[in-house]
């Protein structure tokens, strides 16, 4: 249960941290949007880490983003459902 709260906190922190920064000009805003980390990448990396405990797999799964999130949802074990 504690891992779930920590994971949720980290995801929310990343989301709100991105929204809380003020953008000075449109060039900076475009750069942040183009080069930023997406929500799907964060969720994929966190779920991959929880399942595999491997940094390399977390990076690879973060790259595939929502594809890995969907794969995880369909293949998760009974112990991962709670």
Question: pLDDT tens-digit profile of 12-56?
Answer: 666 655 555 554 445 555 555 555 678 888 888 998 998 899 999
**Where do the structural domains in the chain lie, given as residue ranges?**
2-80
State whether residue 65 is helix, strand or coil: coil
* Whole-number Å distance between alpha carbons of 46 and 48: 5
Look up the pTM and report it.
Answer: 0.54
Residue 15 near residue 39 (C-beta atoms within 8 A): yes
Q: Give the gyration radius of the chain's Cα atoms.
A: 15
Helix axes of 55-64 and 39-52: crossing angle, nearest 10 degrees? 150
Cα–Cα dist 60/75, whole Å: 17
């Amino acid at each position: 249960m504690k891992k779930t709260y920590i994971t949720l906190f980290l995801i929310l922190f990343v989301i709100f941290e991105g929204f809380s920064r003020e953008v000075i000009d449109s060039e900076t805003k475009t750069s942040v949007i183009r080069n930023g980390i997406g929500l799907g990448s964060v969720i994929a990396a966190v779920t991959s880490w929880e399942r595999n405990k491997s940094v390399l797999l977390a990076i690879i799964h973060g790259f595939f983003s929502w594809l890995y999130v969907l794969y995880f949802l369909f293949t998760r074990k009974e112990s991962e459902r709670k």
